[in-house]
Amino acid sequence: MNINIDNNLNFQARNPVIKKADDIARYVNKLYPRISGTKIYSLDSYAYHKDSLYYKCKGYVFNKYHNKIDNVRYVLRKLYKCKKSNFYKCTSYAEVIKKEKAGNCGESSFLARMVAACNGIKNTKIVYLACEGEDLDHYMVYVNDKNPYIIDSWLGFADYVPNALAKFRSEYSKFIGIDGLSTDSSLYFLESQGNIITNDKMRYSKNLVNKLVEQYPELVLKQK
């Protein structure tokens, strides 16, 4: 499903809604420290010759953590097939991410959506970025508020949709592989489907959220 976006919205200053969402994006990374193999690989790899020591060392690190992410995804596939509660699936997936200390944008989106729910943010979906019909393979949380915004814990920020799209085109373009994207090219979000991290399989009911907060109180942001 294509999610409609009003690109005419323009917000000049952070308000409490975005400040809280941005805090969640960063808090997720504090609660669940993890390495992303795809992020390592995207860091200026094109600027170094493939035979250089830097390139080889980075490749070693990438392969090491890619194996860990494979372990995380293996657990995800098992959870998708099991018939246990959403609480069990949710906490089991979060725990293996924490144990392996590895996760790409899909895992980051799952964690951000869980933490957002525990902090009172509703109407969330996991979406991915697309351009001209092409899946850009980058996931984040979309909050369907009066003025929709996204929470991207993989990149460590949150912002209203028009501002976020502008950032994807500029400062974050190399992380998602769209360096040099034409200004005429349309960026938009599509709703993710198909496994337990996504919207149809993981609904954060009041009972689920209450149980998560009761047994994992650290998921709630501390009041400043």
Answer yes or no: is 35 within a domain: yes
What pLDDT was estimated at residue 132?
77
Per-residue pLDDT tens over the stretch 31-86: 999 988 777 666 655 444 555 555 555 566 666 777 888 889 899 888 888 888 99
Answer yes or no: is 222 within a domain: no
* DSSP-assigned letter for residue 144: -
Answer yes or no: is 63 within a domain: yes
Domain count, the chain: 1
pLDDT band of 96, cuts 50, 70, 90: very high
Answer yes or no: is 10 within a domain: no
Answer yes or no: is 5 within a domain: no
Q: Which domain holds residue 173?
A: 15-215
Claim: this prediction has a pTM higher than 0.75: yes
The burial of 157, by beta-carbon neighbours within 10 Å (0-12 exposed, 13-18 middle, 19 or more buried), is given as buried
The pLDDT mean for the chain works out to: 82
pLDDT band of 197, cuts 50, 70, 90: low
Per-residue pLDDT tens over the stretch 126-183: 998 888 777 888 899 999 999 999 999 999 999 999 999 989 988 888 787 776 666 6
* pLDDT exceeds cutoff 60 at 17: yes
Answer yes or no: is 221 within a domain: no
Q: Are 213 and 219 in contact (CB under 8 A)?
A: yes
Answer yes or no: is 77 within a domain: yes
Answer yes or no: is 158 within a domain: yes
